[in-house]
Amino acid sequence: MKQICFSLILAAVTFAAPPTYKVTTKIKVGGGIRWDYAFVDSGNHRLYVSHGTQTEVIDTNTDKLVGIIPDTKGVHGIAIANDLGRGFTSDGTDNDVTVFDLKTLKVLSKVKTGQNPDAIIYEPVSKRVLTFNGRSNDATIFDAKTGNIITASLPVGGKPEFAQVNGKGQVFANIEDKNEVIEIDARNAVVSRRYSIAPCDAPTGLAIDGKNRLFSVCGNKMMVVSDSASGKILASPAIGPGSDGVAFDDGYAFSANGGDGTITMVAETSPGKFEPVATITTSRGARTIVADQKAHKLYLPAADYGPVPPTKDGKKGRPQPIADSFHVIVVGR
């Protein structure tokens, strides 16, 4: 009898209803309608948003724009080194990184990279910044304090996408055209391991949890969960279409599905079993996402779209974003 009661209690805990997330507000930014990643600095209540030729900085306490980092042409991503008081943006058009002061937002320097630096990340053990260069299929590694280049071109064996760190000196990145995850030893500036994440096709966004499990969102409408230590595939739950980003918060992984304007919320419903547990409505084109893990909020850059235009052959056309409609969707609970 005691065993039965314990099992019932365990089942109730395992399958407890997830918190309800919903759109709480939209932060109007305006301006151009090109964007990519965002980054949350929870400790300093700042949200950094890549926006075409500049990077906007928003106070997450007030949801107000507090600054702009200019001349970040073709900006893709943002990395923050709070221990050094510096921030970094990957500028895809200029093939460089803009280094800026976290307090003043003043541009301090530029660091040259490979071609079209996309994802960018700060590795705190080695105190190095890595850019993942989509056109030259390599990574550039430099000293975050001095800007000195450690490795100008580290081949990664394919087109790199988003990256994550584990806090122990390792950096993980999706390789989009090979359906792989690579591991980089930042201190030695080498690719130390790679493993397949099939059946994932075209992995882009990547998140990591406290158990060093990786969550890759894929072009074939699935999220592949893998163990970063063993390379073992743990699960491949279904997600919506057009996802380019994934975030992890409070035990849940969130896929931003720009194709249908939703977020797929994935949970570990029992040990080793990951399943979709909720669908959150956002808006079409909201394909990248970042989580404030202290406030339990999600942020998705987006724009408004016009009606579907008619076409001569009778097929559905593609709606176009409306000028000056750029904003950030805030999802909370």
Predicted confidence band of residue 15 (pLDDT cuts 50, 70, 90): low
pLDDT at 191: 98
Assign 287 a pLDDT band (cuts: 50, 70, 90). very high
- Return d(Cα 145, Cα 159) in angstroms, integer: 27
This model's pTM is above 0.85:
yes
Q: pLDDT digits over 159-183, tens only?
A: 999 999 999 999 999 999 999 999 9
In this prediction, residue 7 carries a pLDDT of 47
Residue type, 114: G
Domains, the chain, in order of start with CATH, read 18-32+205-219+242-333 (no CATH), 34-196 (2.130.10.10)
Average pLDDT over the chain reads 94
Question: Would you state the pLDDT for residue 4?
Answer: 46
For residue 5, pLDDT over 70 is answered with no
| Per-residue buried b or exposed e for 75-100, using 16+ beta carbons within 10 Å of the residue's own CB | bbbbbbbeeeebbbbbbbebbbbbbb
- Percentage of the chain surpassing pLDDT 90? 90
Beta-carbon contacts of residue 243 (< 8 Å; ≥ 6 apart)? 204, 205, 217, 218, 221, 223, 255, 256, 257, 258, 259, 264, 287
Length of the chain: 333
Model confidence over 190-245: pLDDT tens digits? 999 999 999 999 999 999 999 999 999 999 999 999 999 999 999 999 999 999 99
Per-residue confidence (pLDDT) for residue 308, from 0 to 100: 80
pLDDT in tens, 75-89: 999 999 999 999 999
Which strand ranges, in their side-by-side order, compose the sheet holding 243-249? 243-249, 252-257, 262-270, 273-281
Has residue 68 got a pLDDT over 70?
yes
Structure tokens at 144: 């975050």
pLDDT for the residue 14: 53
By percentage, how much of the chain surpasses pLDDT 70? 95
Residue-level pLDDT at 12: 44
Confidence at residue 11, expressed as pLDDT on a 0 to 100 scale: 46
